[in-house]
Structure 1
Amino acid sequence: MSKAISKAKYLRQLYPFKEPSTSIDHLVIGGGVVGLSVAANLVNTSGKDKTTFLVERRGQLGQETTARNSEVIHSGIYYPLGSLKSKLCIRGRDLLYDRCKRLGINYKNTGKIVVATSPSQIPYLEKLHKHSQDSSFLSNPNDISTSSIFTKLLSGEEARELEPDLSKEVCKGLLIPSTGIIDSQGLVDSLSREIEESEYNQESLTEDRGEGIIVLGTRVVRIDKEKKGNGWIVQLETNWEGLEEGEKGDVESVRADIVVNAAGLGAVSLSEGVSGDNEDPIKMYAVKGNYMSYKGPGVGNVSRLIYPCPSANIDHLGIHLTLDLEGNIKFGPDVEIIGNSKDYSINPEFWEKHLSPNNSIKLINKFFKNVSNYLPLIDLNKLQPDYSGIRPNIVDSSSKNSKFSDFLIKHDNNNKIGFIELLGFNSPGLTSSLAIGEYVSKILIQKQIKGKYSKIGNEQIKKLEYLSKGWEA
């Protein structure tokens, strides 16, 4: 492949248009928690005669971003009011806790403390606390962010009473009880069952439940707008892994009324390859986060997640302590930018070669220096490189905050009727996942009510109006 053209254009040359052999209602691309949640919601709300396909290029679900993160249930405190991250994280947090309790998914409501180790950091904690108390979180009873974020400011002594291993330099803390941890694979398994098993998750069942099918080991290689009508022609390739450049696996073509691009790290490239799209391309770059495991002194009393105050010159939360469900401790992630929009355009999978954790002495020393500020008795020699994750970040040119990039949900954009794009779903994507699925399904429901996608009867309109209550999509 010539590097003069993007991977998306190259694939359109390699895979000429092919007439579809079958027709479906919904095609969801991507088998991480976001795509699974979208598919589960579509199955549950779209109608008993509707079919939802989810395709995942890997041989198993949830193997990319979903499998390589902190598994934290975030409170929603860090995000600007009114942003999708704020709304979807808060709603998703509550949906996750409810689902875990009802369906037996392993989780723990650990709580979290953000700590200041110098007086200069105290205003940051006070600002977070004030932000959490903002009445806008509770201003609209029909809005998705009706749940508050309880926080409590602590003195240094109070913080050490809760977490005795904290440094004597800790002069202030902010307690956030709603933070927790979750078994992400358990969530993946639960959502896949909900898609394919008609009796799973009784609370979500309706008499209008559709059919859901998950197809693994299948990648999307081409998407075309239907010439007559509002559907999409999507080419799916199986037996593709291990192919040499220019070789093709087995290719089938399907027609779908609705396509949801939830491809995570591959979402921007997939969007770029959609025919007839004359929009300016979304700029995307990859961020690697390294994690280190720790078994040693200085953490024997830890029972909550512990986050430092971020430095003024960085745009991430700092290297923090998280727990897994077995009580093991890990530190991370850090932030390492590994690519830019050009890298993505030429090779959307370039990030795969960066998946191995960084085991350099320099990075280990960096972790030690950061963590020992708030946990002074840890042993440098006990820090072990563990794993790393890659997060899809987009450049939001419309944002006034250069350090904040919101989730981007595009639908019916630039005449792409029935094409929904979920872009830049980094943290808090796991926490927000159930709310994202709910949100997307309600977008489609409201379009149905308006008659944009299909003709429906009055009784169905009443049901759809009930399902779409409280959302402005």
Structure 2
Amino acid sequence: METLEIDTVVIGAGVVGLAVARELARAGQQVIVLEGAGHFGEGISSRNSEVIHAGLYYPQGSLKARLCIEGRELLYDYCQRFPVGHRQTGKWLIASDHSQLERLDQVHRAAQANGVGLQVAEQDQLARQLPHVTAAAGLFSPRTGIISSHDLMVSLLGELEAEGGQLVCHAPVESAASDGQGHWLTVGGAAPCELRCRRVVNASGLAAIDLARSWQGQDPSTCPQAWYARGVYFAYSGKHPFDTLIYPVPEPGGLGVHLTLDLAGQARFGPDVEWIPEPDYTVDPERRSAFAKSIRRWWPGLDPDRLQPAYAGVRPKLAGPDAGFMDFRIDDERHHGIAGLVHLLGIESPGLTASLAIAREVRERLA
């Protein structure tokens, strides 16, 4: 098997992997991105809500809070400089009844601690702002928006290639090892080879924990267990009365069945939360009735017959359903003792929003 030497390898060509690769290439490193699938972004990067989050929900001082807020501003700036489809739609976070007011207030306090400005609306004001919505109170986030994740990945890849970097698809990493001299990757696929490299970033999404646990030269006890939460989306056919995003208060494991819009104005609802033993993108059409029941709590005018199964995403979780908040993990030498190796673990929402900030963080840690 041929052995090749390369400066830096990024494993995984989702939005975070491409953002990291582009950042490292711009810093002067020779970068190759390895992707096991036939195209970039075929995993969780193409199976999410495509929302630019403002940073409302995350505890002050957490990586999710800091990188979401930094990444939000980097992303808006990037979209204005490059041809990336996006729109700053704003978002309403609502308490559908008085039992949810305490949770809404908790989100408001978290957002204030993170420096995120929100507009507060009581029931009568909300009725004027959202006449089709039934709610006891709401918070409006003006910095929330939507983005074409595909456009973003195309742009990041173009910048990577302009800096001399390369994406190699059909190139799954079958084994990995580190010693005092560097890192060894055994790559399968159409052109099997061994890569010897100085730096490696494991940005393989749902597979990141399994790869880290199997990494020869690293103590597997330094890695968490992998958990998976599936979220299903339903599209809403035809017209609707909304021009902004609407979220209920968060639920365990996710942000609840919310209304998002694509850049054409089409509405979609989701995701729900279903804990599963392994990644599975199956959409069960029978979940429509549960969706309709949940949505009608705040939008009584919903026509359930217009809900159509769309797609499912899977969140890479670092703990199970009763664990509470879990932060991103960016595991570098301080965590596992191996120089030049970074594992990106549990990069779920707000990973898309935070992608450019995560890339900067990785570059600084590898430096």
TM-score for both structures, normalised by structure 1: 0.74
Aligned partners of 1:183, 1:96: CA distance in 2, in Å? 12
Partner of 1:302: 242
Letter in structure 2 aligned against 1:215: V
Q: Number of residue pairs matched?
A: 364
2:294 matches 1:395: no
1:290-342 C-alpha deviation (Å, 9 max, x unpaired) = 0001125xx7321111011245xx34322111111000001100011111xxx
Paired residues of 1:160 and 1:166 also in contact (CA < 8 A): yes
Q: 2:20 aligns with which of 27, 34, 38?
A: 38
Write out aligned runs for 1:55-454 (5 A). Answer: 55-134=34-113, 137=114, 148-167=115-134, 170-198=135-163, 211-226=164-179, 229-239=180-190, 250-280=191-221, 281-295=223-237, 300-310=240-250, 314-339=252-277, 350-351=278-279, 354-360=280-286, 363-395=287-319, 402-412=323-333, 413-445=335-367
Paired residues of 1:164 and 1:301 also in contact (CA < 8 A): no
Secondary structure in structure 1 of the residue aligned to 2:59: coil
Change in Cα spacing, 1:315 to 1:28, as seen in structure 2 (3 Å) is closer
Secondary structure in structure 2 of the residue aligned to 1:388: strand
Letter in structure 2 aligned against 1:378: L
Aligned partners of 2:173, 2:82: CA distance in 1, in Å? 32
1:333-355 C-alpha deviation (Å, 9 max, x unpaired) = 0011111xxxxxxxxxx52xx21
TM-score for both structures, normalised by structure 2: 0.95
Paired residues of 1:279 and 1:414 also in contact (CA < 8 A): no
Letter in structure 2 aligned against 1:223: A
1:219-245 C-alpha deviation (Å, 9 max, x unpaired) = 10111223xx43111111123xxxxxx
Secondary structure in structure 2 of the residue aligned to 1:256: strand
Letter in structure 2 aligned against 1:317: L
Secondary structure in structure 2 of the residue aligned to 1:233: strand
1:402-442 C-alpha deviation (Å, 9 max, x unpaired) = 31111101111333221110001111111111110111011
Partner of 1:204: none
**Long gaps (5+) in structure 2:** none
Give 1:161 deviation, angstroms: 2.3
Aligned partners of 2:312, 2:327: CA distance in 1, in Å? 23
Aligned partners of 1:267, 1:434: CA distance in 2, in Å? 19
Aligned partners of 2:336, 2:260: CA distance in 1, in Å? 42
Higher share in strand: 2
Letter in structure 2 aligned against 1:212: G
Secondary structure in structure 1 of the residue aligned to 2:342: strand
Give 1:394 deviation, angstroms: 1.1
Secondary structure in structure 2 of the residue aligned to 1:331: strand
Partner of 1:22: 4
